[in-house]
Each structure stands twice: as structure tokens, then as C-alpha cells.
Amino acid sequence: MKQKLPDLRAAIDIGSHSCILLIAAFETDESGKEKLVPKIQKVEVCRLGEDIYESGKITAERQEELSRILSRFRSDVHALGAKINEAVATEAMRKAENSEEVLDSIEKALWKRPRIISGEEEASYTYRAVTEWHGEDIVTIDIGGGSTELCFQKKSMSIPVGALLLFKKMGAVPGPEYKAFAKETLKNNPVKAFAKKSVFLVGGTATALAMVFLNIPQFDYEKLEGIEMTLNDLEMTITRIVNLSKELRSALPGLGGGRSDVIICGLYWLRSLLERLHVETFRISTAGLRFGILYPPQEEILEPEKPKRKFPFQKKNLTPEVQVEAEHAAE
């Protein structure tokens, strides 16, 4: 008797730093609950955020590279006899003045037109993904390249601050000006509704932090999923990374290919958020947006917190372009 092949589902997340392909299948766990289990995850650099921060548009050259990345993703999915169930784009495409033009080029490469989702939708999808694995009484924080999303039950918000944006303003290691920046940003984007709750950190910053903390050279979601860290662990990890030269920093687990340039900014911002949320510990999840969009729609739509989304720096003050990396991913 032939073994039944899993019903594979594919999702693509087009972000400010990178594009992520997830091929997964629903499997029944020991409790009888269906769980979305990753089979293949691939991450490739797209750097859409660099163009947005410099000119407000995604250049033709960047679009061509993006099309090549997504064509490879499409080929991988079709080679397995699967189809692309969902494709979404986030902060870079939300801000791009030529987003429709970019969507046209993506559709030709992917054979599917992505949805540009709001920051609050992004937060809600991420929350759905993590709560399917860890329960609902949690707060999710997703620090991306261009924005940060928080969610708790029906409350969600997006703050227009990410690791890449901070790097372009402040460099690899933020100076004294960072303290005023964080204070002003959190004043304009209050997070009180998410305070004093169990926190799960999601996204590239989370994965890189966990890999450095555990000294795991290759991405392995089973080893990383759910690990707990304290604020002291975070502080020691930041100190460890900051004290290394640029060359040695990039040799740390999870920090190759440009992630070493932006990781410190991401961790500074994480520390500021955790202090404002009054929490001493947090956990890591490798689930995220790409998982959330594959789950069936929920009956209720999470209501946004409607943050002011103010940012104290203007685009004209941003520093030159930065390299970013694709995270290590594994089957």
C-alpha cells in the first residue's frame, strides 16, 4: 500500500530585507490537533527597503532581482507538485510609490499576484501563527527590517521602526542619540496595552539572537522554537556582539551575509520594547507571517490599536545603503 503524500501548502512573504518561502503541511499531533509543520523554508535577500528609504520607489534593477528570486521559489513549489496558496508583501511595498508596477512584475514571475497587507494585518497573522503552537495568552513582537508588529488577542499595532531603518540612520552600533529616538518613538506609539504579559519574539532578529545565544551554526526550528531568554541574557548577547570587530561579528551563528550590520540595532530596539513592556523574560518562535497566512480565516478580525505611526527622523537624513542577509533556513 502506497504511503499517502502530505498535502503541501506554500506561502511567500515579501519583506523589506528578504523574501521567505515556506512549504508546509498540516499534521495531527499527539493531542489530535492539526499543526502546520514546515517541510522546506528558504530565505533570499531582496533589499526592497534600501530603495524605499533612499528614493521612495523600488528600482527596475531591484525588481529584476526580485523577479529572479520569486521565479526560483515558484519552480521549487511546482517541482514538488504543490501550488502557491498565499503571497503577501509588507512594509517596503506599503511605502513604495510604484507598488502597482512592482506587483505587475511579481505576478509575471510568480504566476500569482501578492496582497499588500497592512501592518496591523501582519501583526494579526503573526499572532495567529504563534498562538497555534503556544496558546493565546501571549504577546507577539515581530521586529522586521522596516517595521515592528505587536499583537495580543484582538489588539494589534505596527510601529514604523525596524532593524534596517535604524542601521541606515545610526550605523551598526547606535550612539547616544538612540535613547532620545526610542523615547520619542514609544511616546508616539504607546504599547501599554501589551505590557506585563508573556512575550514571544518572532522574525529575523529573533532567529539571529537565538542562534547566537545557543551557538547553533545552522537554522533548526525544532532547536530554536520556544527557547526562553531573560533580559540579562539579551544584555550579555548584545555586549558579546558589540565587542567584536565587524569581521568577527559576521562569523557568529546566524549573522553572516550582512545580518551582522543590522542585528545590534534590532537588539537595541528589542531591549527598549521589553523594558517598556515591563517583562523580564521572553521566548523565541520561528513561526511568523508566512505560517499565519496559511491557516484558514478566523471568524473574527483582530481590531487594530490605530497607532499614530510617527517617526522622529525624516527620510532625507538617512545614511547610505546597507547590506542585509537572508537567514539560514533548513528543510
In a domain, 276, yes or no: yes
Residue 315 lies in a domain: no
Is residue 313, in this structure, part of any structural domain at all?
no
Alpha-carbon gap, residue 302 to 19, rounded angstroms:
25
Identify the pLDDT of residue 22.
97
66 pLDDT higher than 60: yes
Query: Does the structure show a pLDDT above 90 at 59?
Result: yes
Which one of 117, 133, 159 terminates a domain? 117
Tell me if 321 is assigned to some domain. no
129 within domain boundaries: yes
Please give the average per-residue pLDDT across 322-330, as a whole number: 37
pLDDT of residue 318: 43
Quote the CA–CA distance of 182 and 184 in Å, as a whole number. 6
How confident is the model over 2-12, as a mean pLDDT?
A: 78
| Residues 89 and 63: beta-carbon distance below 8 Å | no
CA of 220: how far to CAs of 25, 86, 141, in Å?
17, 24, 20
Query: 12: helix, coil or strand?
Result: strand
pLDDT band per the 50, 70, 90 thresholds, residue 44: confident
Tell me the three cell numbers of residue 213: 545565544
Q: Give the sign of the dihedral formed by CA 166, CA 167, CA 171, CA 172.
A: positive
pTM of the model: 0.86
Identify whether residues 100 and 127 lie together within a single domain: no
Same structural domain, 52 and 84? yes
Residues in the chain: 331
Could you tell me if 160 and 14 lie in one domain? no
Sign of CA dihedral 264, 124, 38, 47: negative
The answer to whether residues 125 and 78 belong to one domain is no
Neighbours of 85 (CB within 10 A): 16
DSSP letters spanning 149-163: EEEETTEEEEES--H
Among the listed ranges 2-16, 144-158, 225-239, which one has the minimum average pLDDT value? Answer: 2-16
Number of domains present in the structure of the chain = 2
* Residue 108 domain boundaries: 9-117
pLDDT digits (tens, 9 = 90+) for 265-320: 999 999 999 999 999 999 999 999 999 999 998 764 455 555 555 545 444 444 44
Q: pLDDT at residue 3 above 60? A: no
* DSSP states of 202-261: ESHHHHHHHHHHHT-SS--HHHHTT-EEEHHHHHHHHHHHHTS-HHHHTTSTT-GGGHHH
Instruction: Among 117, 149, 165, identify where a domain stops.
Output: 117
- Percentage, residues of the chain above pLDDT 70: 88
Set of cell numbers at residue 5: 503524500
Most confident listed range (9-13, 44-48, 161-165) = 9-13
pLDDT at residue 51, rounded to an integer:
86
Grid coordinates representing 178 are 538612540
pLDDT at 47: 78
Average pLDDT over residues 127-152: 95
pLDDT at 256: 78
Specify the CATH number for the domain of residue 215: 3.30.420.150
Q: What's the chain's average pLDDT?
A: 88
**Same domain as 237, residue 137:** yes
In a domain? residue 330:
no
Query: Residue 306: its pLDDT value, please?
Result: 55
Same domain, 138 and 195: yes
pLDDT band per the 50, 70, 90 thresholds, residue 109? very high
Mean of pLDDT values over 58-63: 94
d(C-alpha 15, C-alpha 46), whole Å:
8
Same domain, yes or no: 90 and 175: no
One domain, residues 69 and 197: no
- Say what the pLDDT of residue 63 is: 95
Q: What is the pLDDT of residues 243-260, one digit of tens each?
A: 999 899 999 998 876 788
How far is the C-alpha of 127 from the C-alpha of 221, rounded, in Å?
17
- 48 and 188: one domain? no
Residues 85, 129: Cα–Cα separation, whole Å: 16
> pLDDT class for 145, splitting at 50, 70, 90?
confident
23-42 tens-digit pLDDT: 999 998 888 888 899 999 99
Rounded to an integer, what distance in angstroms lies between the CA atom of residue 106 and that of residue 195? Answer: 39
The CATH number assigned to the domain holding 58 equals 3.30.420.40
Identify whether residues 89 and 170 lie together within a single domain: no
pLDDT score for 50: 82
Closest by alpha carbon to 309, among 149, 176, 199, 195? Answer: 149
With a CB cutoff of 8 Å and minimum separation 6, the contacts of 28 are 34, 35
Residue 136 vs residue 74, higher pLDDT:
74
Please state, for a pLDDT cut of 90, what percent of the chain lies above it. 74
Q: What integer is the mean pLDDT of 192-209?
A: 95
